[in-house]
Amino acid sequence: MSKRQLSLNLFVYPNGHHEAGWRYEGSEPERVLDISFYQDLAKKAEAAKFDALFFADALALPDNIRWASRFRLEPITWMAALAAVTEKIGFIGTASTTYFDPFNLARLFSSLDHLSKGRIGWNIVTTSIDYAAQNYSKDSHPVHADRYARAHEFLDVVTRLWDSWEDEAVVNDVPSGIFADDEKIHEINHIGENFRIRGPLNLPRSPQGRPVYVQAGSSPDGRAFAALHAEAIFTAHQTIESAQEFYGDIKKRAAANGRDPSQVRILPGISPYIGSTEKEANDLLDEFNDLTQLEYSLTHLRRRIGVDLSGYDLDGPVPRHLIPTEGDLTEITRFKLIVGIIDREKPTIRQLMHKLAGARGHFVFAGTPEQIADKIQSWFENGAADGFNIMPPYLPGGIEVFISEVVPILRKRGLFREDYEGNTLRSHFGLDRPKSLYSEAQRKSA
């Protein structure tokens, strides 16, 4: 592909990304535990030639389940079921370096990459919700710095496990009776601060070499981690200026680490509210916001900024002086994003809740199909994005209208593919297939 092209992922969230999406007419909340619901979404996205479906995860039930369907299906099971009914679209699932074991995760994702013929990505998270610890027989949740230290070691181990079989290790020579060249299968013999793992993995190298490394997080630790490891980065920004700063910083850091910046795809989230006119689009957003439930919004805000605002005048200013300025919470990317909104826009509490209701701090934009396409093109062509995670306010209708109304405009402008040019998630993202760390060529160049 000679011309730079957008990447588009469908970010699947139960009943859509607006917190009241499940209440909107046309949403299908009764189907969120029906695999055919997600398979239908995957088929629609594949027909539109999207790069991937992305599925987030959390390791504990949130305390606002009373007001919305915020439980989580297990992503690996989900990806397997969707890969079985599709052929080319990729799937990106979340798994935590804090609560998984490297060998087990390496097996699970490698198995999926084999069975899907190379269409799997791993969204690497360290888990920010502290009450997850109590679901994993732990007394307390590790602090931010410790989680990232473990994550670096985890990535090192998983990478070497996925590379422990060289590409030529499987011989499969029936006449000679040789199935594998065991001299090209390597123990990793890792002994570190958190893990002691012999290896090798009990699976050959997968079609992509390794599943695609995906990461989300814009804290200083998150940026450093992404610049070292990530091949696609999910990020949240409210302005093009913020997105440009992040984009430039990550590309520069990747280059400083000896990486090709073009091999790092930066993909902000955008939640589009689409109308035939600008007024119709804004009315649609207002209609969603009118469905929000006060208790849900206040609970979400309390969890994000550490302050209970339930006793305050909702049409008064956010009491900025109550928001913490230090501690683990202040290191979380979404906390910083929300504080940025407060400082920049000076919203009332109600306005802030509505701002976050649309997509939990990701960029919400209401407009015509042309205006949505203009915004995507502007960010793409002005150093703010390599593509986007599309975050429909409700499902399935929110993605259907984006596919039917916005995607054709992007194609007409030469920004998005007419058809897939390859069969793997790496090929969709324009990422190279990495060589095994243990390959002969790699050893000679080391």
Cα 78 to Cα 94, 189, 234, 359, 376, distances in angstroms: 11, 32, 20, 22, 29
Residues 120/109, Cβ–Cβ less than 8 Å = yes
Taking every pair of Cα atoms in the chain, the longest distance, rounded to a whole number of angstroms, is 80
User: Is 219 annotated as ligand-binding?
Assistant: yes
User: Is 386 annotated as ligand-binding?
Assistant: no
Question: φ and ψ at 129, to 5 degrees?
Answer: -80, 120
- DSSP state letters, 149-191: HHHHHHHHHHHHHHTSB-TT-EEEETTTTEEE-GGGB----EE
Question: φ and ψ at 287, to 5 degrees?
Answer: -65, -40
Cα 332 to Cα 97, 117, 384, distances in angstroms: 16, 35, 21
Q: State how far the Cα of 187 lies from the Cα of 166, in Å rounded to an integer.
A: 12
Cα-based torsion angle of the residue sequence 75, 126, 64, 305 in order, rounded to the nearest 10 degrees: -150
Closest CA to 222 of 337, 75, 389: 337
Residues 92/389, Cβ–Cβ less than 8 Å = no
User: Is 362 annotated as ligand-binding?
Assistant: no
Q: How far is CA 233 from the centre of its chain?
A: 7
Q: State how far the Cα of 162 lies from the Cα of 303, in Å rounded to an integer.
A: 37
Residues 14/70, Cβ–Cβ less than 8 Å = yes
Specify the 3-state DSSP secondary structure of 72: coil
> For the chain, how many helices (H) and strands (E)?
15, 13
User: Is 96 annotated as ligand-binding?
Assistant: no
User: Is 148 annotated as ligand-binding?
Assistant: yes
Closest CA to 394 of 46, 136, 29: 29
User: Is 128 annotated as ligand-binding?
Assistant: no
Q: Which residues of 49-80 are buried (b: 16+ CB within 10 A; e: fewer)?
A: bbbbbbbbbbbeebebeebbbbebbebbebbb
Q: How many other C-beta atoms are found inside a 10 Å radius of the C-beta of residue 349?
A: 21
Binding residues: 57, 94, 144, 148, 218-219
Binding residues for FMN: 57, 94, 144, 148, 218-219
